[in-house]
Structure 1
């Protein structure tokens, strides 16, 4: 592409525009859930204040264009899934209200990959079964889907019938989650460095799971004792499981640490988030997800310091520890 123009991203500017957009929505919506580039508004019980939701959609689009200068697409439906599907059908810069009597023909004509929670691998699985549309997907019994995909199969069964009980929660996906610290003394000990990266990732991934997120990019950072900084990042399939991210972190920092100089500071940044819809990778039995769910439940009750896992155990003889975990030089990680 000889004429291609590549522009640098300016996330701080994008953040300002989306914040302004969300503020307009908050003028009207009793409940608002903001994600990276979309928001869900719950207008349950507002029929008296807003008797015509199509007109409300026009008003929102008009105010956003006038005040923020952005064109937006608005989809209206009786639940979050149907509203999102309605919006996708009229992108870009469109408006659609999916009335109850339109839901059935609309859903039946959709490709099965349009059902929220059906990823590329799952779509390939159904394609091998010659199931390509929602109409064909509905022919699969609930028990068969549960046997194939577990609880995800049960969720897909409901969604293919237009049923989605997920509530709109007041939350916003962060741009990144970072955890970093300065060593009490500069070190070249690979065991200590590896243990610290393991601990920092453990804390960052727990924060992501608490927000109901999966991560798709991680960045590792190191600072030598002569104050020279190095960093590198890598992306991967979305996950909320530490064990799938830790090998990436280790490969990154081991590639960065190439000088015979001690390190004084290490850190990592998780980013490129996506909501965790409970979908598992094909042939994933969910064992690690259940393990982390159990560990998180123990930590919720007894504190982060109740369980120390993996290479982070190597830090037990090096750092003081309390109910919140290791006492680091980074206050935000101490409590």
Structure 2
């Protein structure tokens, strides 16, 4: 006998950052709100539904959002406040299940195959969660209910905002086959164009091509496409794991040469160190320097020293030295820099492995 299908929820807060701003400032309600810093380098973090009517979307350059919606109210993001609200949302989730996989501050997967409550169904559980979010936090969320994660994520978008949609196991084909292939996770504009060259526009047409042909054309990704076209996704909900890296980064108003980055690296090292101190009982072994060039090329350089940094100053010193491992021409300009501490492990694990690192050294990535 095959195992009973899972019951998976994907809960997605509606225009989360913008909705928090509108909740906390009544003068913003009903107005097009764009959460972003103003300026040529800024991007939109979130847009209220009133702003979305004008075509404003997350990750859009802020200057374009301003052109699309001149009446928009720009609000600088307050991530500490959003994180605090997100924690309260997750407390509501935890009343129903311990199997919670956060994807970001505003969305998560929940496995509610078995729950802590006596609610009769996954649909009822989703309703109870959304009701609690509305009553306790004065915010709205949308939910998708399905036998697996990828279908639940598609379903949560189906009746946004403030709605929910269920795909039962016997309804998978009827729901999935007419969908455009662009609705499948991982199928972006480039892959959509490649599939269009094969005459594939819908999930049903994708399924008709068969696994062997898709694998021959797209390798392992072809096999995954075949699985998705059949509604298959065996990935379990993975509860949140401890952070493996703490980092901070910044985008400059004007591109800078490599030798002008030191003050920014030291400032970001201070921020990273402050975040690291909020990880009690965990030790970081690797220093990471991240750079983005003016043409959007991303580089990382890392070093695992014999002794982990003991202060923000030591972290900054190592990060600054990592610039010597950047082998691009001196004329190269950089639009972003980041400093991170990676390889976080429990302190007792690090103590046990200390002999492995006693000889020092490190690597660059």
TM-score band by shorter chain is 0.5 to 0.7
- Secondary structure of the structure 2 residue equivalent to 1:75: strand
Q: How does 1:189-268 map to 2 (within 5 A)?
A: 220=291, 255=333, 268=338
Contact 1:303 1:325 in 2 (8 A): no
Deviation at 1:135, TM superposition (A): 0.9
The structure-2 alpha-carbon separation of the partners of 1:25 and 1:46, relative to structure 1 and needing over 3 Å to count, comes to closer
Contact 1:304 1:324 in 2 (8 A): no
TM-score by structure 2 length?
0.52
The structure-2 alpha-carbon separation of the partners of 1:9 and 1:150, relative to structure 1 and needing over 3 Å to count, comes to same
Deviation at 1:130, TM superposition (A): 2.1
Deviation at 1:8, TM superposition (A): 1.4
Deviation at 1:176, TM superposition (A): 7.9
Correspondence 1:34 to 2:97 = no
Deviation at 1:28, TM superposition (A): 0.6
Deviation at 1:163, TM superposition (A): 0.7
CA distance in 1, matches of 2:202, 2:146: 21
The structure-2 alpha-carbon separation of the partners of 1:41 and 1:144, relative to structure 1 and needing over 3 Å to count, comes to same
Contact 1:80 1:166 in 2 (8 A): yes
CA distance in 2, matches of 1:248, 1:14: 36
User: Structure 1: which 5+ residue stretches go unaligned?
Assistant: 181-188, 201-217, 221-231, 258-266, 271-299, 307-320, 328-335
The structure-2 alpha-carbon separation of the partners of 1:63 and 1:4, relative to structure 1 and needing over 3 Å to count, comes to closer
Deviation at 1:177, TM superposition (A): 4.0
Specify the alignment match of 1:316 in structure 2.
Answer: none
Contact 2:99 2:239 in 1 (8 A): yes
The structure-2 alpha-carbon separation of the partners of 1:98 and 1:254, relative to structure 1 and needing over 3 Å to count, comes to same
User: How many pairs are equivalent?
Assistant: 227
Deviation at 1:10, TM superposition (A): 1.5
Q: Give the one of 60, 65, 85 matched to 1:17.
A: 85
Specify the alignment match of 2:181 in structure 1.
Answer: 112
Contact 1:73 1:94 in 2 (8 A): yes
Q: How does 1:138-149 map to 2 (within 5 A)?
A: 138-149=207-218
- Secondary structure of the structure 2 residue equivalent to 1:35: strand
Specify the alignment match of 1:331 in structure 2.
Answer: none
Cα shift readout 1:131-167 (whole Å, capped 9, x = no counterpart):
1110111111211111222211111111111110111
Deviation at 1:17, TM superposition (A): 1.2
CA distance in 2, matches of 1:75, 1:52: 13
- Secondary structure of the structure 1 residue equivalent to 2:208: coil
Correspondence 1:163 to 2:232 = yes
Deviation at 1:4, TM superposition (A): 3.5
User: Structure 2: which 5+ residue stretches go unaligned?
Assistant: 1-66, 250-257, 270-288, 302-322, 341-349
Specify the alignment match of 1:73 in structure 2.
Answer: 142
CA distance in 2, matches of 1:55, 1:70: 19
- Secondary structure of the structure 2 residue equivalent to 1:51: coil
Greater shift after overlay, 87-96 or 3-12?
Answer: 3-12
The structure-2 alpha-carbon separation of the partners of 1:170 and 1:89, relative to structure 1 and needing over 3 Å to count, comes to same
The structure-2 alpha-carbon separation of the partners of 1:50 and 1:88, relative to structure 1 and needing over 3 Å to count, comes to same
Specify the alignment match of 1:129 in structure 2.
Answer: 198
Q: Give the one of 88, 100, 116 matched to 2:169.
A: 100
Q: Give the one of 135, 143, 154 matched to 1:85.
A: 154
The structure-2 alpha-carbon separation of the partners of 1:79 and 1:249, relative to structure 1 and needing over 3 Å to count, comes to farther
The structure-2 alpha-carbon separation of the partners of 1:256 and 1:109, relative to structure 1 and needing over 3 Å to count, comes to closer
Q: How does 1:264-275 map to 2 (within 5 A)?
A: 268-269=338-339
Contact 1:305 1:324 in 2 (8 A): no
Deviation at 1:109, TM superposition (A): 1.2
Contact 1:31 1:169 in 2 (8 A): yes
CA distance in 1, matches of 2:169, 2:206: 21
Contact 2:96 2:115 in 1 (8 A): no
Contact 2:155 2:165 in 1 (8 A): yes
